[in-house]
Amino acid sequence: MINWDGPSVRHILSLSGGKDSTALAIHLRDRVPNMEYIFHDTGKELPDTVAYIERLESYLGQRVIRTTTRQGFDDILRTKGGVLPSGRRRWCTDYLKLKPFEAYIGDEPCINYVGIRADEDRVGYISHKPNIRAVFPFRDDGIDYAGVVRILTDSGLGMPPYTEWGRTRSGCFFCFYQQKIEWVRLKQHYPKLFEEAKAYEKPNRVNGQVFYWTDEPLDQLERPERMAAIEENWERTQERKRARRTQRPLVDVLGGLETEPTPRDGCMICQL
């Protein structure tokens, strides 16, 4: 029977480079002094994410431990016969995030602090290993999206830098959960990374089959007329969302209820 209040229990916060786990680290800095901060760097992260983690280290006055595996994305991709990960074949999270997390913890009892907010209806990654207990401080403390933004602003860290150029998620630059507009932004902001992502869409050495990150090849998505159409479509969607917001009951507006601009789908452990 584990005594979860005992001194031998480790305290671990797994960072993704996203706003919620970063805000949670700030929120708990002075409450959990023996916290171990870890970051499962896939080696394919955005430069913005890496820089944000480094700024957080300065704020915490503590190193964030990288749990990067020896076998990187490209090695694993080869063992998968060149089959790119996708929503249905999400081997990347398993190999590059979950396994390093469990390997780092080992068999010692550990409390895992998870950054799911009070306004979110999801469970996130919960290990079924009996020595890991997940806790949700934002839920316990009633901290929602607006609360997270406040924590980041007050700390001086601000929102993750990639949000400035229109990306909504941390994680790998080629993540298949990206929206079309995020691919457009990647091409505009990090053309070399876009080229790198595109280079993966090539005939597989084993059977010549080609796998794509999204439902259209990136060399089609990057055509000027296609990018313009994606931009236009995105603008129209934003317009509709703005209109819906102004139709909200006055009590919501006066109450300052702010919600996350884009609903999240995708990889919890990568983008929390």
Contact between 96 and ligand SF4 (CB under 6 A)? yes
Instruction: Give the start-end residues of each E strand in the chain.
Output: 10-15, 35-39, 65-66, 110-113, 132-135
Question: Taking contact as CB under 6 A, which single stretch among the options 86-94, 105-113, 156-164, 190-198 is the one that binds ligand SF4?
Answer: 86-94
The binder of ligand SF4 chosen from 28, 35, 175, 221 (CB under 6 A): 175
- Say how many residues touch ligand SF4, by CB under 6 A: 13
The binder of ligand SF4 chosen from 23, 38, 197, 270 (CB under 6 A): 270
Distance CA 54, CA 155 (A): 14
The binder of ligand SF4 chosen from 21, 49, 67, 93 (CB under 6 A): 93
For residue 106, how many other CB atoms are within 10 A of its CB? 10
Shortest CB 79 distance to ligand SF4, Å: 16
Question: Taking contact as CB under 6 A, which single stretch among the options 87-95, 101-109, 187-195, 248-256 is the one that binds ligand SF4?
Answer: 87-95
Shortest CB 80 distance to ligand SF4, Å: 12
Q: Are 37 and 65 in contact (CB under 8 A)?
A: yes
CA atoms within 13 A on the CB side of 45: 25
Distance CA 66, CA 89 (A): 25
Shortest CB 208 distance to ligand SF4, Å: 24
Distance CA 164, CA 242 (A): 19
Residues 13-72 that bind ligand SF4 (CB under 6 A): 42
**Of 44 and 117, which CB lies nearer to ligand SF4 in the complex structure?**
44
Residues 209-238 that bind ligand SF4 (CB under 6 A): none
**Of 90 and 139, which CB lies nearer to ligand SF4 in the complex structure?**
90
Token pair listed for 72: 């990187």
Token pair listed for 211: 């796998």
DSSP state of 172: B
The binder of ligand SF4 chosen from 147, 171, 182, 272 (CB under 6 A): 171
The binder of ligand SF4 chosen from 64, 267, 268, 272 (CB under 6 A): 267
Site of tokens 């090539």: 202
Residue nearest to ligand SF4 (CB): 171
CA 83, 84, 85, 87 dihedral sign is: negative
Buried b (16+ CB within 10 A) or exposed e, 147-167: bbbebbeebebbbbbbbeeeb
**Of 41 and 144, which CB lies nearer to ligand SF4 in the complex structure?**
41
Distance CA 15, CA 114 (A): 9
The binder of ligand SF4 chosen from 23, 24, 92, 110 (CB under 6 A): 92
Distance CA 76, CA 213 (A): 16
Site string for ligand SF4, 111-150 (x = CB under 6 A): ----------------------------------------
Q: Which residues contact ligand SF4 by CB under 6 A?
A: 42, 85, 90, 92-93, 96-97, 171-172, 175, 177, 267, 270
